[in-house]
A = this chain, B = another copy of it.
Amino acid sequence: MAGNSFGKLFKLSSFGESHGIAVGVMVDGCPAGLEISEEDIQKELDKRKPGSGIAGTKRKESDSIKILSGVFEGKTTGTPICMLTYNEDQKSANYEQIKNLFRPGHADFSYFKKYGFYDYRGGGRSSGRETLARVAAGAIAKKILARHGITIAGFVKAIGSIECKREFSEKQLEKVYDTELRCPEIETEEKMKELVKETAAKGDSIGGIVELKAFNVPAGLGEPVFEKLDSEIAGALMGIGAVKAVEIGSGFRAAKSLGSENNDQITAKNGKPEFLSNNAGGILGGISTGQDITARIAVKPTPSVSKKQKTINRNSENSEIEVIGRHDVCICPRILPVAESMLALVLVNALMEQKAQKLG
């Protein structure tokens, strides 16, 4: 309901518009006693910061986060953690010229239809700036998961038609944020960079694929029918702006496969179960199997392009638009920490629910 909260046991509620006064998040249900600092949060937030990298916007956001509540003497108190950052870079003037035009591919039109108005100053709630709330909450979720040995990682698998082919281990993904495009395959990243530069030169943008992994997830998380772990992950990831598809495990490849190929056969090694493949992506019947959880998302090209496009204004009159300003050429590198956060939030909820269900 209402749509600005996520999660049930570990719940975040997000607020704020890109060009309003502040953007923030309240986290409710975080267990008491967890060590947490503004630095912990800031470190994760910096991963989604614009202004760095060739693919990103040149817009600067300091995104300096303040914890307003729920932490006392360096530890969580069990009560709501409100975190907030004031908006600084509010050049609303940039938007005046397009005030009455619906930007194609943006939410202007649908917001206008739903609410009877839309926030022309940079998208309001539909702005990528809102994801700050998710990453701040995700930073806490990751700290809880870490206590259970669970880690979340990911990488930019493809930009346009340039695609990584290899699989990557937990160790290989550790330093992915040190690369410019968050792609661990150096030769592929080089090609991606060229494509990004070419696209930028044309005043256009380009889509891509992000792959996500959760390592060391215990078997047994998730629910069997409507709150399946894969269902929750799919909902969480599709809920990130610009995401148009979600795959778990073999994904669309499964559609072309035979059962004998797609089934992950099982053997026992030293008395421990071992799967011979991971087409399931770590989830069977909605419940984790103990294998690595694997998901991929298709990210659309950012709709803000400087090429001329047909559109209409609020009075349904024909017009044209060129979206100028500092926009991302490919959003994938910046979506990565957001997607990791959503996966972390799903898992921390599943973990807490699993604890609740243990018969005392």
Give the docked Cα–Cα distance between A299 and B3 (Å): 29
Task: Mark A117-161 against chain B: 1 for CB-CB distance below 8 A, else 0.
Answer: 101000111100010000000000000100110000000001011
Q: How far apart are A266's CB and chain B's nearest CB, in angstroms? A: 5
Task: Mark A262-273 against chain B: 1 for CB-CB distance below 8 A, else 0.
Answer: 111111100111
Interface residues of A in 32-49 (CB under 8 A from B): 32-34
Contact A28 B16 (CB under 8 A): no
Task: Mark A198-236 against chain B: 1 for CB-CB distance below 8 A, else 0.
Answer: 010010111111000000000111111111101111111
Q: Which of B5, B106, B204, B244 contacts A247 (CB 8 A)?
A: B244
- Complex interface: chain B residues within 8 A of A111 (CB): 224, 285, 287
Q: How far apart are A305's CB and chain B's nearest CB, in angstroms? A: 4
Q: Is A169 an interface residue (CB 8 A)?
A: no
Q: Give A243's nearest chain B residue, CB to CB.
A: B230
Q: Is A97 an interface residue (CB 8 A)?
A: no
Task: Assess A286 versus B207: contact at CB under 8 Å? Given A2-B11, A158-B255, A359-B33.
Answer: no
Q: Which of A56-64, A76-84, A175-183, A186-194 contacts B (4 or more CB under 8 A)?
A: A76-84
Give the docked Cα–Cα distance between A206 and B254 (Å): 9
Q: How far apart are A309's CB and chain B's nearest CB, in angstroms? A: 5
Q: Is A93 an interface residue (CB 8 A)?
A: no
Q: How far apart are A211's CB and chain B's nearest CB, in angstroms? A: 12
Contact B78 A357 (CB under 8 A): yes
**Chain A interface residue count, Cβ-Cβ cutoff 8 angstroms:** 161
Q: Which of B66, B114, B255 contacts A207 (CB 8 A)?
A: B255
Q: Give A8's nearest chain B residue, CB to CB.
A: B1
Q: Give A75's nearest chain B residue, CB to CB.
A: B117
Contact B317 A126 (CB under 8 A): no
Q: How far apart are A155's CB and chain B's nearest CB, in angstroms? A: 14
Contact B223 A2 (CB under 8 A): yes
Contact B249 A246 (CB under 8 A): no
Contact A110 B69 (CB under 8 A): no
- Complex interface: chain B residues within 8 A of A11 (CB): 1-2, 5
Contact B356 A113 (CB under 8 A): no
Q: Is A20 an interface residue (CB 8 A)?
A: yes
Q: How far apart are A109's CB and chain B's nearest CB, in angstroms? A: 6
Q: Is A171 an interface residue (CB 8 A)?
A: no
Give the docked Cα–Cα distance between A351 and B360 (Å): 9
Give the docked Cα–Cα distance between A266 and B225 (Å): 40
Give the docked Cα–Cα distance between A312 and B81 (Å): 30
- Complex interface: chain B residues within 8 A of A304 (CB): 259
- Complex interface: chain B residues within 8 A of A245 (CB): 245-248, 251-252, 254-255
Q: Give A329's nearest chain B residue, CB to CB.
A: B259
Contact A260 B204 (CB under 8 A): yes
Task: Mark A77-108 against chain B: 1 for CB-CB distance below 8 A, else 0.
Answer: 11111101000000000000000001011110
Q: Is A250 an interface residue (CB 8 A)?
A: yes
- Complex interface: chain B residues within 8 A of A287 (CB): 107, 110-111, 113-114
8 pairs across A/B with beta carbons < 8 Å?
Answer: A3-B222, A3-B227, A13-B13, A15-B68, A244-B248, A244-B251, A262-B301, A263-B305
Supply 19 further A-B pairs (C-beta < 8 A) apart from A84-B84, A110-B287.
A1-B227, A5-B5, A21-B69, A29-B357, A32-B116, A77-B117, A102-B266, A109-B273, A110-B285, A125-B224, A206-B259, A238-B248, A245-B254, A250-B300, A263-B303, A268-B318, A351-B360, A355-B356, A355-B358
